[in-house]
Structure formats: C-alpha cells, structure tokens
Chains A and B, each alone.
Chain A
Amino acid sequence: QKEVEQDPGPLSVPEGAIVSLNCTYSNSAFQYFMWYRQYSRKGPELLMYTYSSGNKEDGRFTAQVDKSSKYISLFIRDSQPSDSATYLCATSPYTGNQFYFGTGTSLTVIP
C-alpha cells in the first residue's frame, strides 16, 4: 500500500467553480500535511501547509486534515484559469525528514 493515495484526475471545471481535491494516507505518524502546485515544466511550489489536523484558509484556498479518517483535502473557491496546474498532496512524520507525495491531480479551469 502506498503511503499517500491521490485521485489522479484529470479534472476539468468552468471558471468560478469550487474545486475539491482529495488524498488519503496510511500512516498515523504523519504530522505535516502539504499541498503543492506544479505548473508544466516547473518545480512544485508550496501552496498550503498544515501541522496536525484541522483547517487552514488562505485566500481562495482551504486545506483540511481529518486525522481520524486519514483524509486530506484542498478546496479552491472561485477557480481561475491561472489555477490550471497539477496539485500534489504530501505528508511527513514529526521529524520532517522523509516526505511522501501523492501522484498528483491535473486540474484545468476553462474560461
């Protein structure tokens, strides 16, 4: 079993839609939960970062972690064409040394 499972998509939505991206993880020792955005031919860039469980909001983006069900979510409100990218979820244990990534979900926002 992979440490992190992510819906691969692809996902295509109209501009202005609410997007929901999801991952599950297997190891209850994971304490750091991240979402990275990766544009074509670029390195991943950190979008949202959460320690332990709960919600975190930053502008149009909301990250949720439910440790009881080992579920990670990213919500994008009022999606824009510039949000078109691949979104990677990631986790790490408390030590923060090893990182485990989902396979990524490709999102296209249609104008």
Chain B
Amino acid sequence: EAQVTQNPRYLITVTGKKLTVTCSQNMNHEYMSWYRQDPGLGLRQIYYSMNVEVTDKGDVPEGYKVSRKEKRNFPLILESPSPNQTSLYFCATKRGFNTGELFFGEGSRLTVL
C-alpha cells in the first residue's frame, strides 16, 4: 500500500528543546515537501526537496531545517522550537516533477509550551 508515514503523530514539547519529525514514503517518489496548517492561514509550504541532497525553501522556512540523505526519508528539524511553531504538520510527496498531485501523510500535531 502506498504510504507517507509521519512520526510522531502527536508531540508536546517545551521551548528550545530540539525535535525531529520524520517522514518516510514507500512510493519511490523523488519530490517530498513539508507543510504546516494553521487555522485561518491554511496549508503553507515550509521546505521541499526535488531529490536526494537537493532542498529548497518554501513560503515559511524560518525556524526549520530539513535534510534529504535518502530518497525515502525527509525529516523536519526544529532546532529550537518556539510556541509560534505550534501547528499541524504534513509531509507530502509527488510522483513527477511537472504535476500537481500531492500525496499527504496523516499529519503530526506539535505543541510547543
């Protein structure tokens, strides 16, 4: 079954404590991306990756880091989380470059106290 798997699904942490949200896909897609979803603001793109070792900023990259060392994994790193990063995070992949069809994970709800 085609899947985009995120972990953890739920996390409560404190300001400044580094955390990583993992994303793994089994569809052999080259493109992967991260979004945050906030009420009234919708889904906003944080980072995307066209291929291994190739990443680029989306609309709201401040406070986040990513790495793409393997095709199937695209972790999102919050090195010093702050309360304004409390949000619902989604990882997504797509099967080709010139297409708009994204496949999303189930989401990771992060609360930073």
Contact = CB atoms under 8 A, between A and B. Distances in A.
A52 to B, nearest CB: 11
B109 to A, nearest CB: 9
A111 interface: no
A49 interface: yes
A98 interface: yes
Contacts of A107: none
Q: By CB atoms of chain B within 10 A, which of A92, A94, A99, A100 has the most?
A: A99
Chain B interface size range? 20 to 34
Interface string B34-52: 0100001111110010100
A101 interface: yes
Interface residues of A, number: 30
A33 B98 CA distance: 12
Interface in A28-77: 32-34, 36, 41-46, 49, 51
Interface of B: 4, 31, 33, 35, 40-45, 48, 50, 56, 58-59, 90, 92, 94, 96-107
